[in-house]
Structure 1
Amino acid sequence: MTDAAKFWAKLWDLEERFWTEGADAARRMSAKGAVFVLPYPAGILQGDMVFREKDVAQRWRSVVMTERYLQRQGHIAVLAYRVSAERSDDPIYEALCTSTYLLDDENWLRLSHQQNPLAPIAT
Structure 2
Amino acid sequence: MRSKDAVFVFPFPAGILQGDALWRETDVAQRWRSVVMSERYVSIHGNVAILVYRVSAERSGDPICEALCTSIYLKDEGQSLRLTHQQTILG
Q: State the Cα distance separating 1:59 from its structure 2 match.
A: 1.6
Which runs of no fewer than 5 residues in structure 1 stay unpaired? 1-28
Contact in 2 for aligned 1:97/1:113 (Cα 8 Å): yes
Query: If each structure's strand is expressed as a fraction of its own residues, which one has the higher value?
Result: 2
Aligned length: 91
Which runs of no fewer than 5 residues in structure 2 stay unpaired? none
Runs of 4 or more off by more than 6 Å in structure 1?
A: none
Could you state the TM-score of these two structures normalised by the residue count of structure 1? 0.72
Q: State the Cα distance separating 1:87 from its structure 2 match.
A: 1.4
Q: State the Cα distance separating 1:106 from its structure 2 match.
A: 0.7
- SS where residue 59 of structure 1 aligns? coil
- SS where residue 50 of structure 1 aligns? helix
Could you state the TM-score of these two structures normalised by the residue count of structure 2? 0.96
Alignment counterpart, residue 112 of structure 1, candidates 73, 84, 88: 84
Q: State the Cα distance separating 1:114 from its structure 2 match.
A: 0.2
Instruction: Report the more deviating stretch, 108-117 or 57-66.
Output: 57-66
Alignment counterpart, residue 24 of structure 2, candidates 16, 27, 52: 52
Structure with higher Rg: it is: 1
Q: State the Cα distance separating 1:62 from its structure 2 match.
A: 1.4
Measured in 2, the distance between the counterparts of 1:41 and 1:61 equals 20
Alignment counterpart, residue 92 of structure 1, candidates 64, 80, 91: 64
The alignment yields a C-alpha RMSD, in angstroms, of 0.8
